[in-house]
Amino acid sequence: MMKTGYCSAVFLSLLALVLVLLSFVGVNPEVPKQVPYRFTGYLSWLPKLEGYDDNMLDAATLFNIITMLLSSYYALKWAYNPPTNPKLITRFYSAGDRDATSSPTIDFDRALAIYIVTTLLAGAALFFVGAGKIWVAVGIFHNASEFIILIMLGSGGKIKSSSSTFWPILGFYIFIISITCTLFKFPYDALWFKGQGLCFDWALIIEFTRIYLTTLHELKHGDANDDLNELIENEDDSSHQKSIIHHPQQLLLLIFGSIFHILGNIVFTVFIHSFYAYLAFSFSYCVAYPLYAYYIYLDFHVSSIYPQKRIYLPETPSWKVAAISIFSIALSLLTIRLGLGWPGAQWGPLKLQMEPMEL
């Protein structure tokens, strides 16, 4: 019965992928004409944007960079100066495996901080060189950070120093994406980079949601509920910190951050000709990554009603890895498919138009 459930999950994810691929049949989009980027003169991946305004773009970019700078600074400060009070240290536990050794979330928070920094660098590079082959040299590290976070969450919350395969795989991924984006002609280079990046974006939403639901279930109904409640009863009330969170609600910050990030990508993918959609994409970063930084703050500076903050990582056997990976690919292709419109339409037919108001 269990094996049937495993096969059904993989089959449904494959079915979703096939249905999305079939939706591309009959679509013959017109490839958008590239325009030179204003600083470098190189052809950009982006078409001419309707309603484009240099002044508005520079204002939005400056605000974005300032927001990301502050988020990066505080995220690194908090992540690399963890508290000494054990009550403030959150620990990862493996759901369903009581014998598994727990690990502190310090490495995960540091990976999250590095993710914010690499996104800042990618955003700054995007402003100076524009979206294109040159930008991939920096933008790939944004995606690599997402890859590290996903592997970390699937490995008990940390990358084992004894692992001899992870870092070569990461290096191989960076090398392959960089080389292929350099060699592929437009628009295949842009679609390839966009597609593989969206896979990680969707996978993060899925994983953060799974972790939140698993932790919520384990704290309320799991085996750990009894011993945690016993520790609460035996603990002196005077030892509680003044700042208390309703653990594990802080995990919602990770979910909301990943959702805002993917929403910005979806809006600009669908309305690829609209300058206002590009602004929405830019401003989504100003929301998503401060949420990630705030999560790091809460993880290290706030206690909970429990004597120990625990995050339970869901079990992820090979069949679940396959199902999540295939479904993430399907969602990535679906996002790109929405940007192509429907059969008989041209590339990016849904154009978000905003006419200036007459006073």
Using one digit for the tens of pLDDT, what is the confidence trace for 237-287? 444 455 788 889 999 999 999 999 999 999 999 998 999 999 999 999 999
Taking alpha carbons only, the member of 120, 175, 133, 174 closest to residue 37 is 133
pLDDT at 99: 60
pLDDT at 225: 57
pLDDT at 294: 97
Instruction: Report the run of H or E that residue 244 belongs to, with start and end.
Output: strand 244-245
* Span 286-291, average pLDDT: 96
Alpha-carbon distances, residue 109 vs 178, 297, 299 (angstroms): 27, 9, 8
* Span 106-126, average pLDDT: 96
pLDDT at 98: 65
pTM of the model: 0.88
Domain ranges of the chain: 29-340
Contact at 8 Å (CB) between 209 and 200?
no
pLDDT at 230: 54
For residue 303, the cross-strand partners are: 244
Which letter, b or e, does each residue of 156-178 get, where b requires 16 or more Cβ atoms within 10 Å of its Cβ?
bbbbeeeeeebeeeeeeebeebb
pLDDT at 160: 72
Tens-place pLDDT, residues 20-73: 999 988 887 778 888 999 999 999 999 899 999 999 999 999 999 999 999 999
Structure tokens given for 250: 């802080």
pLDDT at 116: 98
pLDDT at 145: 97
* Span 205-217, average pLDDT: 95
pLDDT confidence tier of residue 224, bands split at 50, 70 and 90: low
Mean of the per-residue pLDDT values of the chain: 86
Choice between 299 and 164, residue whose per-residue pLDDT is larger: 299
Least confident piece of the model among 17-26, 188-197, 215-224: 215-224
* Span 85-110, average pLDDT: 85
pLDDT at 339: 85
